Chain A
């Protein structure tokens, strides 16, 4: 009899514990938010192969490829707290040639008003070195449009390719910026780190996430900033930058290419 009472007590306790512990995660209402990356060049829309643009060095160029990784997203709430998008759902590859990739959808976002976003351009070291089965989709090293260096294990964070008369004839007048490097260890001096963390406040706007309404935050991404940043990048002088110390200057430039545009409510 004593035992059965203990048992029933224990059972009730466990049941109570189950209800309490699951209460918060199950009941807290969530919604969705979309982030749209609108790729532009200065004041023009970015058009692959078509548009001709000019950088601050006075060089005309066209763009044939523009890809970049966005990861480790955090959203800032009205009250100053942050919602961290779960790691496993926080890696995106934005590709100019794939319009669908330019709008990313975040689900299971706690409802509320959001005032800003923070994200990383690139793929952090932890995920870069994770087991291969944890790197699928856009993180699949063999299937992500060449955004990986198989000879120097690591993701290419950003690719900008195009043509310019000032690029060497030996390269068919093409230029390449393949920027990566996650600051690997190698039992000594760290390798180059081109991960850049971007924080963008939504100015005086707020993105209101409700279970019934999913706002779209539109960001402008100005590829011209890759040339016209703190370092003035000249195609004639640097027509092919890949795993190179100079690439950190280009990363400093692309860290400034994102800006807030507007919020489209309930799209």
Chain B
């Protein structure tokens, strides 16, 4: 009792906290241990593990971010590791193809000049390499939306027999053995053990930093300097807003839906979204792509059938083919396609070119270097 008398109120508070803490700890130990823990905290051996946080840029004219950053906070070290992996051909069977091989920065991270993806041993895939940008705002990925989380995406191109053709377990094994990586993994995650989650989350971190939001159009809508649009471009913007934003909505320039835009099925007979959902209503539907950097991401469409923007607009004005799943927006007026005069097409294309983001395309932080 004498002892207790000497305890001040602050100490009592402290004591209470200690009890509460002890309570929490004691009860924790009674539970089952999670067999799938988050990457562990700094390991022993006196290694300093200190990451520098990176704030994802969220442009004022963009909607809310979709990616859950709380489960993979960006760090300078994580992004650097992800970038190294992105540009490392070690991740392909014959060590010739990296992610960056098909996703070229100068082409808006698409594959310039190849209608269909071109991978290992000169093999071709069945779809056009999509450009990469603003992935933090993506809900699903690939032309058919088959991948539902950015973190899982890299497994697919690495294992695809016509892309990088390497078993994922072997990719992890190679990275684990490479002298280049232990320091990078330690810096990013406090451990040089290569795990699926660390490998994938590091690549996600790098991909998430690919924010394209500095085109002339962006500066125009944000009323920043350098945001002047000429009369043709402004006229193109007006037409675009009237006739294209049903699908190419928001400043992401996609409503992230899947639609049949009236392309006659090619010989590949790609059924698109149907392959993923097995829903008849999804036959011949593909993801509405963003139009950011569209001037650089030619060729166009899921199979790269159009080489120029002129061809694309001609398709919409006069090439749309009817089918049971054709998007209703393309037959709204009782006529197939979108009515566009020659002048209007030119103006729309002039506007689309204001979506080219040279800051992004020349950003050294995203380059192989």
Taking Cβ atoms with an 8 Å cutoff, the residues of A that contact B are 1, 3-4, 6-8, 10-11, 14-15, 17-18, 21-22, 25-26, 86, 88-89, 108, 129, 131-137, 139-143, 148, 150-153, 184, 186, 188-189, 191-192, 243-245
Contacts and interface: CB of A to CB of B under 8 A. Distances in A.
A132 B199 CA distance: 11
Contacts of B23: 14, 17-18, 21-22
Given A21-B27, A136-B195, A137-B36, A129 B12 contact: no
B197 interface: yes
A129 B9 CA distance: 49
Given A4-B9, A11-B19, A143-B196, 7 more contacts: A10-B16, A11-B15, A14-B16, A22-B23, A132-B200, A137-B36, A140-B196
A153 B16 contact: no
Interface in B1-37: 4-5, 7-9, 11-13, 15-16, 19-20, 22-23, 26-27, 30-32, 34-37
A184 B148 contact: yes
A87 to B, nearest CB: 9
A191 B8 CA distance: 64
A125 to B, nearest CB: 11
A150 B16 contact: no
A88 B152 contact: no
Contacts of A22: 23, 26-27, 30
Interface residues of B, number: 54
Top 10 closest A-B pairs, CB basis? A7-B12, A142-B168, A25-B30, A14-B19, A133-B197, A136-B36, A18-B23, A150-B156, A150-B155, A152-B146
Contact of B276 (A4, A21, A134, A152): A152
B152 A132 contact: yes
Contact of A89 (B32, B71, B196, B278): B32
16 contacts: A3-B12, A8-B4, A18-B19, A21-B23, A22-B30, A25-B31, A88-B32, A129-B149, A133-B39, A134-B36, A136-B35, A136-B196, A150-B147, A150-B152, A150-B156, A189-B281
Contacts, number: 142
Interface in B279-294: 279, 281
B148 A132 contact: no
A131 B34 CA distance: 14
Indicate the member of A11, A132, A245 with the most B CB atoms within 10 Å. A132
B199 to A, nearest CB: 8
A18 B27 CA distance: 9
B90 interface: no
A18 B22 contact: yes
A104 to B, nearest CB: 13
Interface in B140-184: 142, 145-149, 151-152, 155-156, 159-160, 168-169, 171-172
Given A88-B35, A142-B155, A153 B148 contact: yes
Interface of B: 4-5, 7-9, 11-13, 15-16, 19-20, 22-23, 26-27, 30-32, 34-39, 68, 71, 142, 145-149, 151-152, 155-156, 159-160, 168-169, 171-172, 195-197, 200-201, 275-279, 281
Contact of B146 (A129, A142, A153): A153
A153 B39 contact: no
B278 A188 contact: no
A253 B15 CA distance: 61
A8 B34 CA distance: 36
A143 B36 CA distance: 14
Contacts of B148: 129, 153, 184
A143 B142 CA distance: 22
B152 A153 contact: yes
Nearest to A86: B32
A22 B24 CA distance: 9
A137 B197 CA distance: 11
A153 to B, nearest CB: 4
Nearest to A185: B148
B71 A151 contact: no
B142 A10 contact: no
Nearest to B29: A26
Contacts of B155: 141-142, 148, 150
A135 B279 CA distance: 28
A143 B151 contact: no
Nearest to A5: B4
